[in-house]
Structure 1
Amino acid sequence: MTLDLEGSHREALGTFDGRAALVTGASGGIGRATARALAAAGAQVIVADMAVEAGEDTARTIRAEGGTAQFIACDVSEPEQVSALLEQTMAAFGHLDVLINNAGISGGAQRLHEMEIDAWDRVMAVNLRGPFLCAKYALPHLMKRGGVMVNIASTYGLIGAPQAPAYCASKGGVINLTRQLAVDYGPSGVRVNAVCPGYIDTDMGGQRGRLDPQQAVAALERRESNAARQPLGRQAHVDEVARVVVFLASEASSFMTGSIVTVDGGCTSTFNYNQ
């Protein structure tokens, strides 16, 4: 059977004409790729991030590619900043159809008893409090439009992984928050799903840039070695995740809500983990 990608099929899979999207953590990595993909599909995009220069670059790139984008600086862990972000989004586009909760930090690598309390709190503030705040201020607008929320979780929210206690806990929280929001807001016409990326070819938060060169090389080699042990045998490109996010934000996924979608090359299907 050959799929017909013309007409209504192509429209369902790809067009976001007249729709407005807000992508947090969009200065790089999955967030940047998702913002570009949504804009290429016709969405007006708000690029939100704490990294002003990189965030502005994402917005400029989208505009250079023929899309519509505006950068707004925001720390998603701060209620006042998130409230202002939504106010500015409404001022820019007048409505909101899609929220992508992507902003996140890794928190470094250590066992729990070695972790500073402030470091734990910061991971929770960005990775779990951030989606809560963005959802809180966005949902009234999404309900008016029958909108969609996609939360970027992680395979580390589904399994226990070495030396990542705060990250695992925060992403596990995002996963079950996704399910709970799907229950409460489905009757209001809002769909809420989550994507769990596995090994992605990206440097979250410039983490490797904070290591000395030898440590940075070792960190990358460790990720590539782990990725090589999974069924597809490699890390993903950010665009491979962005395409799934855009699908979940589109009408092609119209009967999906509360779904937790892995984009992980099969890594959570195996016990093949090399620390």
Structure 2
Amino acid sequence: MNTAFPPSSDLLKDQVILVTGAASGIGRATAMLAAQAGARVMLADWSSDTGEALAAELGEKGFEVAFQSCDVSQPGQVQALVDATLQQFGRIDVLVNNTGIPGASRPAHELDPEEFGRVLAVNLQGPFLCARAAIPHFLIQGGGVIVNVASTYGLIGAPRASAYCASKGGVIALTRQLAVDYGPHSVRVNAVAPGYVDTDMSGNRARLPEAQRLAAQQAREANAARQPLGRQAAPTEIARAILFLASPDSSFMTGSIVTVDGGCTATFNYNLA
């Protein structure tokens, strides 16, 4: 299995790509691969420290990048992000809506409405707000690309994840709807639906005592082992699919939901033991 970053290429040469949730996990991998593929990259994340550190790291390697702090659930901050990208780079060619939070793991009847609303605000309203702010510029330019990061949890049900499943299901529906409205204007809108990925989306595992952290990681790996490829994905494996959808190589794709899940949604996930 080769999950290392590939050599530099010209796949996105001279393109401007805006990546939300860029400071860690899938977003970080996407930003790094995009820079290596010749893109100029605007990094966006709520975490200023890690976002600025990544911008500095990529800048030291000679890549053209910038960072803007942003809570994608806030319309004003999203508009400021798009404005900053245009001011820095002069255009936006690709928007990657990656920011997401998992929410609490509880049955629906035990979940606070405020928590449900917060997950939808970040995971679903966030991509809507970012698309809403970027699309007018795509229309002026004569085209653009949006890649949304959904989840297999938007395609199937999952235990104790009502808010997350609802939000990612909404992202999938939004992807298809935007593709219908803006395809005639040369704006392509697709989504990836990752399965188990070796990331700590909420940062919760990193804050646990070591024994609990290891137990949580082992439980996740055990679940991933039950799918056909038998393991979690590396963030770079999802990022490569995102870059394909962002690039001219996918020029006749719009409204597509691309599962990158190790076969998770291809089979009933039963336990033979």
TM-score relative to the length of structure 2: 0.93
Matched position secondary structure for 2:159:
coil
- Between the two proteins, the alignment pairs up a number of residues equal to 263
The reply to whether residue 83 of structure 1 matches residue 68 of structure 2 is no
1:241 alignment partner in structure 2: 238
Amino acid of the structure 2 residue aligned with 1:259: S
2:142, 2:185 within 8 Å by CA — same for their partners in 1?
A: no
Q: CA deviation at 1:64?
A: 2.5
CA distance in 1, matches of 2:112, 2:206: 21
Identical-pair percentage: 60
* Aligned partner (choices 194, 207, 218) of residue 221 of structure 1: 218
Matched position secondary structure for 1:258:
coil
Alignment of 1:54-93 (within 5 A): 54-93=50-89
2:250 alignment partner in structure 1: 253
TM-score relative to the length of structure 1: 0.93
Q: Which runs of 5+ in 2 are unaligned?
A: 1-7
Deviations 1:50-89 (A, max 9, x none): 0001111221222223211101000000000001111111
* Aligned partner (choices 22, 25, 39) of residue 26 of structure 1: 22
CA distance in 2, matches of 1:263, 1:130: 22
CA distance in 2, matches of 1:160, 1:170: 12
Q: CA deviation at 1:203?
A: 0.5
Q: Which runs of 5+ in 1 are unaligned?
A: 1-10
Amino acid of the structure 2 residue aligned with 1:162: P
Amino acid of the structure 2 residue aligned with 1:42: G
The structure that is helix-richer by fraction is 1
Amino acid of the structure 2 residue aligned with 1:118: E
2:208 alignment partner in structure 1: 211
Deviations 1:249-268 (A, max 9, x none): 00000000000000000011
Deviations 1:97-142 (A, max 9, x none): 0000000000021111111111111101100010000000000112
The reply to whether residue 49 of structure 1 matches residue 45 of structure 2 is yes
2:145 alignment partner in structure 1: 148
* Aligned partner (choices 233, 253, 259) of residue 262 of structure 1: 259
CA distance in 1, matches of 2:10, 2:154: 29
Amino acid of the structure 2 residue aligned with 1:109: S
CA distance in 1, matches of 2:260, 2:151: 9
* Aligned partner (choices 11, 15, 18) of residue 15 of structure 1: 11
CA distance in 2, matches of 1:273, 1:130: 34
2:3 alignment partner in structure 1: none
